[in-house]
Structure 1
Amino acid sequence: MMKTLLVEDKAYIRKGLLNLLQLVESDVQVIGECESVKDAVIVANACLPDLIFLDINLTDGNAFDFLEQTQHLNFKVIFITAYEEFALKALKIGAVDYLLKPVDIKDLEVALHKVSKLPLTEQKQQINAVKSAWDNENAKLILSLHDSFQVIDLSELMFCESDKGYTSFYCSDGKKHVVSKTLKEFEAQLTLANFTRPHQSYMVNLKFIDKYDKSGVIHLKNGKKIPVSSRKKEQFVSSLLKRKSN
């Protein structure tokens, strides 16, 4: 039996996947479920799974954060993603097995069959290719402005602010770009590029944070102050401490 861990931040996706795994003919034994990088690292180290269904985007980081912290362990991976635009290019380049949400039972059966036959060393090579492609794919953000396309280096983007259907992008060189799209449309890619969403109206690049007042205010290195909503404080602090430890 393959000891299997489900790492997915949405409970209904985990439940659906668990139900499908009970329907397919396989030697999978689910030993645990996690919704964050932090919890998944703890469980993986304790339980030593043979296979992990791994969501790309988690509550406190992404799949590659988890893989970096568990690279000493030996397990196979089937990625799960809802973000076709940002995930599929990298996953296809690496030729790794992946499932799109909502998970289809036939796709699940195919992925299980492939991963069961694949040597562990070969899959690790594939995942390294995915990581490299992923870093290249998510290093830039292309904004469609009124009369041009603006390319932004995400490492130089300090924060984004959303207001009434528009999103403003503030760069470290002082430039500001405004697009007529909501912040939600950029959240997936920005989260994967080390941004956090401490408030409904803001996403912040963790590298530009100078300090955080426990009263609920972020101070950026340029002096800008950004509020942290009460319901997002715990998640934000977790993301901040995680970056500090890396």
Structure 2
Amino acid sequence: MKLTAILVEDEANSREILSNYLAKYCPDVALVGEAATIKEGVAIIKEKQPDLVFLDVEMPFGNAFDLLEQLPDCSFETVFVTAYNHYALDALNNHAAYYLMKPIDIDELVKAVEYVVAIKTKENALDGQVLQGGFAKSEGKITIPQQDGFQVIEVSDIYFCKADDNYTEIYLEERKIVVSKTLKYFEEALSEFPFVRIHKSFLVHLNQIVKYKKGKGGSVVLTNGKELSVSASKKSELLAHFK
């Protein structure tokens, strides 16, 4: 699969180096534009609608997160390029597919491109399709601790679990249960069943997913019509479950 890409970087020398690396080592990438500022970057991304944006974190008059906030509906994947590794967590939380440190390592650049190619190929195959469950049966029960004791529920009745600080909201067909346990607790408790973490806030029953939608982070639609966001860091793991 061929990807179109935009490079947003304020340093001309850095743009030239990355552009040359892409031309020489990443034949699946066609660079269709470059920008030196956030304003230029927003304009050219809107015009070209690329598959991939290589985005420097620190730029004059703002940073990469300011640019992303101005493009909430675009479906490109983002590869952050920076000399400051303390941005890693923010990068993932802002839907970055990959994170490259300066000076750029060619092997890491190739890995980043291969990662995005794999995601885009799978996304295009699944986008908008009605997905068939067919995962391992989720017959079984789980014990839910509560203040006055505990409650036992059928695992198959769970649509998804949502984090709320140190609490978890468990969504069933017609009600939800709030439990004073973290989402990590339920991720481990349900590990033998077909559940997948799609976001820092969501643990979803795979058999309840009927549709995947492309986007900056993507989203899934459940059998009850609920749409949940997918984070970039969890997208590859989710897509791997579907053929």
Q: With structure 2 as the length reference, what TM-score do the two structures score?
A: 0.48
Q: With structure 1 as the length reference, what TM-score do the two structures score?
A: 0.47
Query: Greater relative contact order: 1 or 2 (C-alpha under 8 angstroms, separation 6 or more)?
Result: 2
